[in-house]
Amino acid sequence: MPQWLEITLGIGAIVLVGFALVIALNFMSLLGLADADVAELDHAAARSEIEKSQPDNAWANRNGYRWIGAYELHAGMNPKAVILAWQKPGVASYFCVYYILKYKVYDLVSVYKGDITLTTGSHDGSLLYPMPSFHFMQAFTRLDLERLAERHAESEQYLVSRLGVESLPYFGSFTDLFLEAISRQAEHVRSVPFWWVKVLWWYAIKGFKNNKPVERRYPDLDRSDLMRFETASVRER
């Protein structure tokens, strides 16, 4: 096969897959597999993942997170994923472990008042698509869980010092919060003109965002940015 044809097919595949992933975001569902204790989960699709994640459960408990459940994520024709989730009691702060195909991925997620979020993950796939304003995403593919949590805490402190963020009290459903976040990201991506073409560019640059903390990517962040964002949000309502 000529090299030019291989390159053309490769580019086409990236655009097609990126397009399919964004469309699939509209058809996601989250099926709860257990709502009690890790040890009580007997769902066949998640049993092995739970057993492998006992050290993660121990880490979560040591760091103030409490088990809230295991879930199966369905997204159109994409492979199913198993999500294990822990929450810090009373606030929207989560530790998640994702199993999809051969991958195991960590996410630490903090939701703050004023529609601000910080997600620190272990896979750079989370950096592919643009996020809504003040929904900060960072990925560190070379760090273990302990160091990943330290990076999350450091970036959280940065947001506290620059924006004065406060944790969002939350006692609601993890499923609702998760699917709402996915839906909002899909809506944001589709709002970008010619987004289906820009998927190729996003794919090309995501590596440049990998292993770079929020502090480096947004060094001039301050409260005036937040005030402009809040004013614009009010006008859009």
Residue 74 CB-density burial (10 A; 0-12 exposed, 13-18 middle, 19+ buried) = middle
pLDDT at 124 over 90: no
Pairwise CA distance, residues 57 & 65, whole Å? 9
Maximum Cα–Cα distance across the chain: 59
pLDDT at 66 over 60: yes
Could you read off the pLDDT of 144-169 as tens digits, one per residue?
999 999 999 999 999 999 999 999 99
Residue 52 pLDDT class (50, 70, 90 cuts): low
The sign of the torsion formed by the CA atoms of 230, 160, 92, 83 equals positive
Could you read off the pLDDT of 89-122 as tens digits, one per residue?
999 999 999 888 778 899 999 999 989 999 999 9
Closest CA to 130 of 61, 63, 201: 201
Could you read off the pLDDT of 131-143 as tens digits, one per residue?
888 999 999 999 9
Determine if the pTM surpasses 0.85: no
What are the phi and psi torsion angles at 194 (to 5°)? 55, 40
